[in-house]
């Protein structure tokens, strides 16, 4: 690809940094951008910057939001006695789509994984314990992804939370092993939520 | 299960090889280094999703190529046609499997679909070598028989690596691992115990098969044995709670050692098998001849076990085994193999083949030369 212009190389390299985008796709995207109208390109660039500038993390649940606290945390209709703990904002999105869960969330920002250098202090666990002790929470639902790291995080959290909360549950293991909450279909997720079990 | 045809592209020294296989005995004949083992390796790769010889996929990719592809058409015992193919690319270092023309969701989902039993000189380590080789044998058999086992095995390895990282970090930084270990201990014990239970159950049914196979081959009254030697003593396998309690206790007893070494000291990754002949340790006392007979018997027993567990006849791959066995034992093996199902055999010289092998109706002979394969003897 030595004959392409430097700016195209640069753009492709930027695309290639995104998750799930290989070199080939990155070039396809870069070349596609060249074919777009200038206004379209400008609007795409603005949308990127805009999202980055406006989006922040909710100071209560750490979900991504434009307002702080986020729409879920500030919604008076949500059940404040139940908190569902998830790994990432994308998990909140997936669970919200089921229309099944009416409580609040807590986004950990990852899972325990010593191999990636992630220990308890790198997750928003202190914040979770703070929420639990400062408000009346009856149930915590642990909804980690069904894999080795999710399991360890569930075990770790349940030990910390049990003395503090009346009921600590986890979503049913109905999710196929190795699959992410993010990619599970809505019916499967609903079933997993319904069939939660005490830990 | 039978291989009906295989296509091999840019894999080892085969650039573009197609084999229309026979349903019985398939003999691959050629000089050393021509590519016989590579054909056997390709068939087993489709079945096990990796090479049993090479450590990495990059090694089997033909030198100077960017991609290799293997395709296999299979036919189940009931006549059901199955298709499997794999593609590996150098640039992404990724391989993708298609089973019946649909992308496989994981490599683990492919293992066991096309059962094979491989016998090659490399495997003498099972009876003579280090415990790792025996565990590899064990895992490969049970994983082909049970997807749950393979799933647990992969999870266990991941848990082990995570747990060892905590121990190692703590050792390097000269501090106590503290409560960071706790959730991993629980996972280790749970998944590890499940593996051990499955292994124990395997031996219970494998022993008889081994004894039968050994007697057929050796034709004498020597009794072979295969005993499961877990990393800690388990008096009874009947109570799951008890096994887990023992495991937890062992972990506690290994605490000091683990802090010194920075590695998990107990668990199924430290299991072993003790093979015996006439009640005496084979690894320590068996003769070369006994070792060979034992290995072949193990493979026939493995075949038996897989066939019973899966209700599907495995494909038998015998690579370079006749140089290793004496005439009498070779003949027995070939006679036995031909009654079992589809067999692939490699040899440098058809004439050195046991008398029993007169290429018959159900026998196909392939000449392998410089990475090409031709049917018939030329
Ligand atoms: N990645 C590779 N690319 C090209 N050739 C290879 C590769 N790996 C092995 N070979 C060649 O394959 C040949 C060995 O084939 P093999 O099947 O082991 O022979 P044999 O017929 O003795 O069983 C050697 O000539 C070796 O150079
Ligand atoms: Mg060879
Ligand atoms: Zn919030």
Is residue A104 within 8 Å of A73, Cβ to Cβ? yes
Measured between CA atoms, how close is A128 to chain B, in angstroms? 18
Number of domains in chain A: 2
Q: Residue B125 sits in a domain of what CATH number?
A: 1.20.1050.90
- Average pLDDT (A105-109) is 98
Measured between CA atoms, how close is A69 to chain B, in angstroms? 32
Whether the per-residue pLDDT at A173 is higher than 70: the answer is no
Could you tell me the pLDDT band of residue A176, with boundaries at 50, 70 and 90?
A: low
Are A37 and A113 members of one domain? Answer: no
Measured between CA atoms, how close is A104 to chain B, in angstroms? 25
Average the pLDDT over each of B72-86, B161-175, B313-327 and give the range with the smallest value: B313-327
From the list B92, B155, B165, the residue facing A148 with the nearest CB is B155
Are B182 and B282 members of one domain? Answer: yes
Are B267 and B179 members of one domain? Answer: yes
Number of domains in chain B: 2
Residues of chain B contacting A151 with CB distance shorter than 8 Å: 183, 187
| Interface check B151 vs A, CB under 8 A | yes
> Which of B269, B285, B311 finishes a domain?
B311
B211 CB neighbour count, 10 Å cutoff? 16
Are B144 and B281 members of one domain? Answer: yes
pLDDT given for residue B251 in this prediction: 97
Whether A112 is covered by a domain: the verdict is yes
pLDDT given for residue B165 in this prediction: 97
With a CB cutoff of 8 Å and minimum separation 6, the contacts of A96 are A72
Whether the per-residue pLDDT at B359 is higher than 60: the answer is no
Which residue range is the domain that position B163 belongs to?
121-311
Are B164 and B244 members of one domain? Answer: yes
Regarding the beta carbon of B38 and ligand 1, being less than 6 Å apart is answered yes
- Average pLDDT (B72-96) is 95
Among B263, B282, B266, which residue's Cα sits nearest to residue B210?
B282
With an 8 Å Cβ cutoff, are B162 and A155 in contact?
no
H or E segment at B374? strand B372-375
Whether A187 is covered by a domain: the verdict is no
Give tens-digit pLDDT for B22-61.
999 999 999 999 999 999 999 999 999 998 777 789 999 9
Closest ligand 1 atom to the C-alpha of B34?
21
Q: Which ligand is nearest to the CA of A89?
A: 3
Are A48 and A100 members of one domain? Answer: no
From the list A22, A113, A148, the residue facing B187 with the nearest CB is A148
Are B320 and B219 members of one domain? Answer: no
Most distant CA pair in chain A, distance: 66
pLDDT given for residue A175 in this prediction: 55
Which residue carries 């003999």 as its tokens? B27
More confident residue, B207 or B327: B207
- Average pLDDT (B284-295) is 91
Is residue B291 within 8 Å of B297, Cβ to Cβ? no
Are B175 and B307 members of one domain? Answer: yes
Regarding the beta carbon of B192 and ligand 1, being less than 6 Å apart is answered no
Give tens-digit pLDDT for A36-95.
999 999 999 999 999 889 999 999 999 999 999 999 999 999 999 999 999 999 999 999
Which residue range is the domain that position A38 belongs to?
6-54
0.90 surpassed by complex ipTM:
no
């Amino acid at each position: 690809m030595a004959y392409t212009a430097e700016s195209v190389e640069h753009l492709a390299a930027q695309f290639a940094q995104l998750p799930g985008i290989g070199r080939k796709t990155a070039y396809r995207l870069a070349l596609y951008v060249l074919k777009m109208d200038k206004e379209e390109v400008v609007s795409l660039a603005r949308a990127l910057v805009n999202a980055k500038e406006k989006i922040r993390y909710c100071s209560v649940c750490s979900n991504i939001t434009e307002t702080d606290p986020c729409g879920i945390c500030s919604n008076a209709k949500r059940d404040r006695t139940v908190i569902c703990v998830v790994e990432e904002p994308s998990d909140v999105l997936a669970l919200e789509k089921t229309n099944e869960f009416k409580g609040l969330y807590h986004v950990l920002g990852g899972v325990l994984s010593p191999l990636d250098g992630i220990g308890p202090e790198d997750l928003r666990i202190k914040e979770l314990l703070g929420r639990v002790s400062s408000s009346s929470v009856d149930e915590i639902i642990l909804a980690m992804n069904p894999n080795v790291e999710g399991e360890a995080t569930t075990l770790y959290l349940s030990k910390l939370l049990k003395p503090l909360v009346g009921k600590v549950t986890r979503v049913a293991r109905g999710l196929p092993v190795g699959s992410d909450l993010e990619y599970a279909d809505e019916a499967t997720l609903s079933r997993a939520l319904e069939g939660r079990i005490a830990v | 299960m039978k291989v009906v045809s295989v296509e091999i592209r840019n894999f080892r020294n085969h650039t573009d090889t197609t084999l229309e296989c026979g349903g019985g005995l398939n003999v691959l004949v050629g000089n050393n280094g021509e590519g016989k083992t590579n054909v056997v390796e390709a068939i087993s790769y489709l079945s096990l999703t990796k090479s049993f010889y090479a450590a990495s996929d990059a090694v089997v990719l033909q030198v100077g190529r960017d991609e290799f592809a293997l395709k296999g058409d299979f036919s189940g015992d009931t006549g059901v046609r199955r298709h499997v193919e794999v593609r590996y690319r150098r640039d992404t270092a990724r391989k993708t499997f298609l089973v019946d023309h649909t992308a496989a969701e994981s490599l683990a989902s492919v293992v066991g679909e096309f059962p094979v039993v491989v016998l090659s000189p490399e495997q003498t380590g099972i009876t003579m070598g280090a415990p790792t080789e025996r565990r590899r044998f064990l895992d490969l058999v049970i994983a082909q028989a049970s997807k749950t086992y393979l799933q647990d095995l992969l999870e266990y390895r991941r848990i082990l690596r995570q747990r060892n990282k905590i121990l190692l970090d703590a050792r390097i930084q000269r501090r106590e691992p503290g409560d960071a270990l706790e959730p991993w201990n629980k996972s280790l014990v749970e998944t590890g115990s499940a593996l051990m239970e499955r292994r124990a159950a395997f031996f219970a049914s494998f022993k008889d098969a081994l004894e039968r196979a050994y007697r057929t081959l050796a034709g004498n009254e020597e009794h072979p044995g295969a005993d499961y030697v877990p990393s800690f003593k388990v008096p009874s396998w009947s109570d799951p709670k008890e096994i887990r309690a023992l495991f937890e206790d062992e972990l506690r007893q290994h605490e000091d050692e683990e802090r010194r070494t920075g590695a998990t000291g107990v668990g199924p990754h430290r299991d072993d098998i003790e093979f015996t002949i006439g009640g005496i340790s084979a690894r320590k006392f068996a003769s070369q001849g006994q070792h060979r007979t034992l290995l072949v018997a193990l493979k026939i027993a493995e075949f038996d076990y897989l066939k019973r567990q899966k209700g599907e006849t495995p494909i038998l791959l015998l690579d370079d085994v006749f140089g290793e066995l004496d005439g009498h034992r070779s003949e027995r093996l070939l006679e036995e193999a031909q009654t079992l199902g589809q067999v692939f055999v490699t040899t440098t010289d058809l004439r050195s083949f046991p008398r029993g092998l007169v290429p018959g109706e159900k026998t196909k002979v392939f000449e392998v030369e410089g990475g090409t394969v031709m049917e018939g003897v030329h």
